[in-house]
Structure 1
Amino acid sequence: MHISGRGVAMSVFASLIFAIIPAYALYLAPLDGVQVFAQRVLWSLPAIFILLIVAGRMAALKEAMLRLMREPILILAIFTTAALLGVQWLIFVWAPINEQMLDLTLGYFLMPLSLVLVGRIFYSEHLRKLQRIAVLFAAVGIAHELWRVGSFSWVTLLCAVGYPPYFMLRRWMAFDSFSGLFLEMLLLAPVAIYLIINYAPLGSFLTAPHLWYLLPGLGVLSALAFAAMLGASHALPLGLMGILSYIEPVLLFFMSVFWAGEIVESGEWLTYIPIWFAVLLVVFDSVRVLLKQSRHVN
């Protein structure tokens, strides 16, 4: 599979938006992490539907629904991907509110390595020399953190292992990015409604009127980021997508320190510096290959 410039751009765009969302969640008090998750699901649903219309993908949504009726195995698959996505959406907004954003960040440092491993084992994807060097540097950083701390928190492990099976199922299902995401949000909507009705603090929107515009904004950001990420997962080899995904935890790290105010211990720098170098190698390699492909086309 060739490197798609559009796929790389979508992956970088998704990383930028995802890095904003945990910091954004800090402004949604008095809602706790579970309520922010529930509201995120409900506000994402109309945002994704509007994107479907704007992008002219309603025919793809109709085809996806027809496929669900023709192929019952896809119903089980879409319920599974919805559950996997729901867990990731919950932890993504729960962690910063509960001062575990650095654990979240470490999980997203581990997740691209999981994607690279999945791409190599299940899809026989091969990495170029600079990509292999980048993975090596990233692995050094992760190994140092494991040696320094001695274990990973449950937040870190959930982030690290949750997305690879999701992407594998979504690739197998071959649904349009917007259509599949819309169907997953439809399945998660009853859960979100139940959580809001039974556990939401009374009068939240009266005591915090800023929620009226911040929550729709969260839905738009979530829809745009996931649509871009899923588009990238179809346009790029999983290994390359995994390496490009290091952009997100680097940005999350800066958000954790400079926005959320979490403190980095001196020993942690030996974790982050090799990973940042890996990101630079990947960016350089991707730009180099894209320029080479462009010269061949012209």
Structure 2
Amino acid sequence: MVKGIFLSVLASTVFGILYFYSQFLKIFDGSQTFGWRMISLLPFLTLFMWFSGDLKLIRQIYDRVKQKPSFFLLLILTSVLAAVQLWLFLWAPMHGRGMQVSLGYFLLPLVLVLVGSVFYKEKLSWFQKIAVLCAVLGVVHEIWRMGTIAWETLLVALGYSAYFFLRKMIKTDHLGGFWWDNVLMLPVAIYFIQTWTLPWSTFLEQPHLIAAVTGLGVLSAIGLGSYILASRYLPMVLFGLLSYLEPVLLAISAVILGEKIHSEEWFTYIPIWCAVGILVLEGMWHIYLQQRKRQALITNIEKFSERTASHRKDE
């Protein structure tokens, strides 16, 4: 549980950095940046999997495709769902739509909580119930304030939920599944980078572009790898609730990039931030309880050892 919480927080933090990082790649448009992200991601994702011991999962999926070729169609579907989200993530801040996408990430955890409760019969703790209530208040206010929901918002909330649900259903909800999603995206990624109108010698004339593209791959591997691992270690409900940290960081990044939070929007963000704070407290509470259990176990073992030694002396 604690490992999953740490990975989820790490992923959200890296995603917030990536939102801002896209400004270093303005020489490309949103689609070209997506293409470079997918190409640069693959080697670092493979390295990440080597460190996490998950490389064997790549072969497992390959064996499943050999045994049942129709399974490959489902892999293509999950790849398409992932590609749309990864494209939108970089396209939005470059076109002034960062706040609409961040609202989609606000809605996403609620949809994931609904999926977890309905399809997996997962129960909410009291901390989680209070967090959900706070989140619902913030999201309902935002919908009431805007009067409608942007297509970017719906695409994130519903598209990502469908992606996670499908991966869980076909048992590819691990890094091996995402590795294959990435590989199947490569043809589209290569097509997008070919639309660049500047000469390729620009990379030699501006060496910082090579560093920027490499950094994009490293950050993407850490963020997406941690996110996928967190989805495996955590129940769907808790994974969804912890995801609230990401839109908060995305909103902060959007503000840094020039978008504004107006006074009436604070009634959306404050309840959301309260939900995140409650989840942080729950995580700290879990850590505290685990430490108490560990300490109690150590104490019991020491007492047992003392009693055993005492009995031996008496004998």
- TM-score normalized with structure 1 length: 0.94
Aligned pairs for 1:16-27 (under 5 A) are 16-27=13-24
Is the 8 Å Cα contact of residues 7 and 236 (structure 1) preserved in structure 2?
yes
SS class of match (1:125): coil
Separation of aligned partners in 1, 2:143 and 2:168: 31
Structure 1 residue ranges, 4+ long, deviating more than 6 angstroms after superposition: none
Matched, 1:5 2:37: no
Match of 1:217 in 2: 215
Match of 1:70 in 2: 67
Root mean square deviation of aligned Cα = 1.5
Aligned pairs for 1:39-118 (under 5 A) are 39-118=36-115
Which among 265, 284, 288 is matched to residue 287 of structure 1? Answer: 284
SS class of match (2:24): coil
How many angstroms does 1:21 deviate by? 0.8
Structure 1: gaps spanning 5 or more residues: none
How many angstroms does 1:165 deviate by? 1.5
Q: Which amino acid aligns with 1:121?
A: V
How many angstroms does 1:194 deviate by? 1.3
Which among 246, 249, 270 is matched to residue 248 of structure 1? Answer: 246
SS class of match (1:23): helix
Is the 8 Å Cα contact of residues 44 and 218 (structure 2) preserved in structure 1?
yes
Aligned pairs for 1:20-35 (under 5 A) are 20-35=17-32
Separation of aligned partners in 2, 1:53 and 1:241: 24
Residue by residue over 1:224-246, the C-alpha shift from the partner in whole angstroms, topping out at 9 and shown as x without a partner, is 11111111111111110111000
Is the 8 Å Cα contact of residues 37 and 90 (structure 1) preserved in structure 2?
yes
Separation of aligned partners in 2, 1:119 and 1:288: 22
How many angstroms does 1:207 deviate by? 5.8
Match of 1:168 in 2: 165
Which among 251, 258, 263 is matched to residue 260 of structure 2? Answer: 263
Structure 2: gaps spanning 5 or more residues: 298-315
How many angstroms does 1:295 deviate by? 2.6
Among all aligned residue pairs of Structure 1 and Structure 2, give the percentage whose two residues are the same amino acid.
Answer: 41
How many angstroms does 1:133 deviate by? 1.1
Match of 1:201 in 2: 197
SS class of match (1:87): helix
Residue by residue over 1:182-218, the C-alpha shift from the partner in whole angstroms, topping out at 9 and shown as x without a partner, is 1111100011111222x11222535643211111111
Is the 8 Å Cα contact of residues 30 and 208 (structure 1) preserved in structure 2?
no
Separation of aligned partners in 2, 1:103 and 1:30: 23
Q: Which amino acid aligns with 2:197?
A: P
- TM-score normalized with structure 2 length: 0.89
Alignment: residue pair count: 293
